[in-house]
């Protein structure tokens, strides 16, 4: 039994794994309200890898700013 990973298998894995990780991150985020979560979910599902790239470059920045503000408030 020959098990090897070539370019098609790696691309398929990326097309499944990256959106799954992004969707998990979207839905566990406390920084987003329900509408934003639904909107980001649609973007990631409809545009797959491009949607993940857009979410990481735009959506995660909002989460980072929210967490910094929350930590600052709890420290003071």
Distances (CA, A) of 55 to 1, 46, 48, 59, 74: 39, 12, 10, 5, 27
Q: Sign of the CA dihedral 33, 36, 40, 46?
A: positive
Instruction: Please tell me the predicted confidence (pLDDT) of residue 57.
Output: 87
pLDDT at 17: 93
Could you tell me the mean pLDDT of each successive run of 10 residues in the chain, 76 residues long?
77 91 89 86 93 87 69 74
Detail the DSSP E strand segments found in the chain: none
pLDDT at 10: 86
Which residue in 50, 49, 43, 46 sits closest to 26, CA to CA? 43
Look at phi and psi of residue 26 and say left if phi exceeds 0, alpha if psi is from -120 to 50, else beta. Answer: alpha
């Amino acid at each position: 039994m020959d098990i090897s990973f070539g370019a098609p298998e790696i691309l398929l894995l990326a097309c499944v794994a990256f959106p799954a990780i992004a969707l998990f991150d979207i839905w566990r985020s406390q920084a987003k309200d329900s509408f934003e979560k639904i909107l980001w979910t649609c973007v990631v599902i409809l545009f797959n890898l491009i949607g993940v790239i857009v979410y990481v470059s735009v959506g995660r920045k909002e989460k980072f700013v929210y967490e910094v503000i929350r930590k600052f408030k709890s420290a003071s």
